[in-house]
């Protein structure tokens, strides 16, 4: 009988284990568009009156189709004017882009220090293990920064090591024992504690001297993101360099996304891009960064990335995307234990994935997947591309860079129901390239507005 109790316990554990699998797969079915991450999928890591840090859900935990994004995380940093994010380092590489506001980023090395004045669009790599701090140097405007984090120790997980003691985070210095700290700093522990490490609350009353209130006040401030004075900001600004205006950036200086010549531009929108081929900072991480502005009522024409998977964050505005995938893409997770894993590769049913976009939303465009983005108000999109080297953007409509128009006539003849001539004449209807009017007037006049009511039933309304 003695063996029965642990046996039941184990059985129970087994059930809990199996139940947890069932539950998680059911909750995945609820959300049938895995490509959209609404802003509520960010989790707040830290928040106080001076700002916050939020971390997006792991891509690979959302869906198995993002297994290759396992080691990429998206972070959002937000802070009030005249604040400072205290010194810390992380076990992850960061690609940092200023979304709005003005900042001073200071990067510390063993024997020098670099400070950079950053403004909207500035992009810089902060290598793993770099001790640094970030100030909002603007008098009025909030600072918003988006970071792509690429952990070095554990796939998809990273840690921050803070030099400053606060309510939320202990100083990593306090991790060393007293005698080690005394030997390291060649000082007695009381002095080290008083100067470098915040006193904890259990400390006996008599040790607190005249500086106690002072320290208390700082303690409330010393909360990862702290207020600083205008004078302190000015002092930090003194040696700060601004981002390079040249298109080839250096190994460590920021480069501004929006100061580049746009790679696609017309009256409906602009598209800026920094690629690893041209930027040494992005080369070893094999990342591209791009920035698209789509004017209200316009669309980014249907296209696909040849090899990059792009994580896009909505900065401003509203709109919608349509992404074309395979029908089974989202259902493959259920089948992972099945023997005949290859069956899934047979059915080639096309599936439309749609979602409305608002500021703070994130979506993922896997390599090869055709996508269109429409703007119902001026829309700004910041994209981080993974596996970026030699990526090519193939457009499927528009006058330039349209791969369909490159198809030879005999192939057009057999590949499409219309004749080659029909195809070519149809392709010429769109005189714009890259960006176009989402409600073209010509069509409006000819046909009226009736048809825009017709909605395909089979589409998946991801974010509605």
What distance in Å separates the CA atoms of residue 394 and residue 306, rounded to the nearest whole number? 7
Identify the residue among 29, 153, 200, 220 touching a copy of itself (CB under 8 A).
153
Identify the residue among 133, 272, 291, 363 touching a copy of itself (CB under 8 A).
133
Q: Give the SS3 label for residue 186.
A: coil
- In terms of CB distance, is 40 or 179 closer to a copy of itself? 179
226 binds a copy of itself (CB under 8 A): yes
φ, ψ dihedrals at 365, nearest 5°: -110, 100
47 binds a copy of itself (CB under 8 A): no
**Closest of 70, 66, 446, 96 to residue 282, by C-alpha:** 96
Identify the residue among 220, 247, 334, 390 touching a copy of itself (CB under 8 A).
390
429 binds a copy of itself (CB under 8 A): yes
- In terms of CB distance, is 14 or 245 closer to a copy of itself? 14
247 binds a copy of itself (CB under 8 A): no
- Segment contacting a copy of itself by CB under 8 A, of 95-103, 169-177, 242-250, 255-263: 169-177
Identify the residue among 68, 100, 117, 252 touching a copy of itself (CB under 8 A).
68
Are 24 and 53 in contact by the 8 Å Cβ rule? The answer is no
What distance in Å separates the CA atoms of residue 219 and residue 213, rounded to the nearest whole number? 9
Identify the residue among 39, 168, 358, 376 touching a copy of itself (CB under 8 A).
168
Interaction residues for a copy of itself, span 13-32 (CB under 8 A): 13-15, 17-22, 24, 27
464 binds a copy of itself (CB under 8 A): no
Q: Which residue has the tokens 């080690």?
A: 180
Identify the residue among 402, 460, 462, 463 touching a copy of itself (CB under 8 A).
402
Identify the residue among 36, 58, 77, 313 touching a copy of itself (CB under 8 A).
58
359 binds a copy of itself (CB under 8 A): no
- Under DSSP, the state recorded for 231 is H
SS (H, E, C) 71-82: CCEEEEEEECCC
- Segment contacting a copy of itself by CB under 8 A, of 65-73, 94-102, 139-147, 376-384: 65-73
Are 384 and 334 in contact by the 8 Å Cβ rule? The answer is no
Are 107 and 132 in contact by the 8 Å Cβ rule? The answer is yes
CA angle 99, 105, 107 (to 5 degrees): 140
Are 33 and 462 in contact by the 8 Å Cβ rule? The answer is yes
- In terms of CB distance, is 245 or 341 closer to a copy of itself? 341
Q: Which stretches of 275-308 are assigned E, i.e. beta strand?
A: 287-294, 298-305
């Amino acid at each position: 009988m003695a063996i029965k109790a642990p046996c039941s316990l184990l059985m129970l554990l087994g059930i809990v284990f199996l139940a947890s699998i069932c539950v998680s797969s059911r909750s995945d079915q609820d959300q049938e568009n895995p490509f959209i991450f609404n802003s509520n999928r960010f989790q707040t890591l830290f928040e106080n009156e001076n700002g916050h840090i939020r971390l997006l859900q792991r891509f690979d935990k959302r869906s198995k189709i993002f297994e290759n994004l396992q080691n990429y995380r998206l972070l959002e940093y937000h802070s009030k004017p005249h604040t400072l994010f205290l010194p810390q380092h992380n076990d992850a590489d960061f690609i940092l882009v200023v979304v709005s506001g003005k900042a001073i980023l200071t990067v510390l090395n063993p024997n020098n220090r670099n400070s950079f004045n950053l403004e909207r669009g500035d992009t810089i790599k902060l290598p793993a293990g770099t001790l640094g701090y970030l100030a909002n140097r603007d008098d009025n405007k909030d600072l918003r920064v988006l970071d792509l984090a690429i952990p070095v120790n554990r796939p998809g997980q990273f840690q921050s090591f803070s030099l400053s003691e606060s309510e939320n985070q202990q100083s990593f210095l306090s991790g060393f024992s007293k005698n080690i700290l005394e030997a390291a700093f060649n000082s007695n522990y009381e002095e080290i504690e008083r100067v470098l490490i915040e006193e904890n609350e259990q400390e006996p009353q008599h040790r607190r001297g005249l500086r106690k209130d002072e320290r208390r006040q700082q303690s409330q401030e010393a909360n990862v993101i702290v207020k600083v004075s205008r004078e302190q900001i000015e002092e930090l600004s003194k040696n700060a360099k601004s981002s390079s205006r040249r298109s080839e950036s250096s190994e460590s200086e920021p480069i501004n996304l929006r100061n580049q010549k746009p790679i696609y531009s017309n009256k409906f929108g602009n598209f800026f891009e920094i690629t690893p081929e041209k930027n040494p900072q992005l080369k070893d991480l094999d990342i591209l960064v791009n920035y698209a502005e789509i004017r209200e009522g316009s669309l980014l024409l249907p296209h696909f990335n040849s090899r990059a998977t792009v994580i896009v964050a909505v900065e401003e505005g509203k709109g919608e995307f349509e992404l074309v995938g395979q029908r089974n893409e989202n259902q493959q997770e259920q089948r992972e234990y099945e023997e005949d894993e290859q069956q899934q590769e047979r059915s080639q049913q096309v599936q439309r994935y749609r979602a409305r976009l608002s500021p703070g939303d994130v979506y993922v465009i896997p390599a090869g997947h055709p996508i269109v983005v429409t703007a119902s108000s001026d829309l700004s999109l910041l994209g981080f591309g993974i596996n970026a080297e030699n990526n090519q953007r193939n457009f499927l409509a528009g006058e330039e860079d349209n791969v369909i128009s490159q198809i030879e006539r005999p192939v057009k003849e057999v590949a499409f129901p219309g004749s080659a001539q029909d195809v070519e004449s149809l392709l010429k209807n769109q005189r714009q390239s890259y960006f176009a009017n989402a409600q073209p007037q010509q069509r409006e006049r000819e046909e009226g507005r009736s048809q825009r009511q017709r909605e395909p039933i089979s589409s998946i309304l991801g974010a509605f």
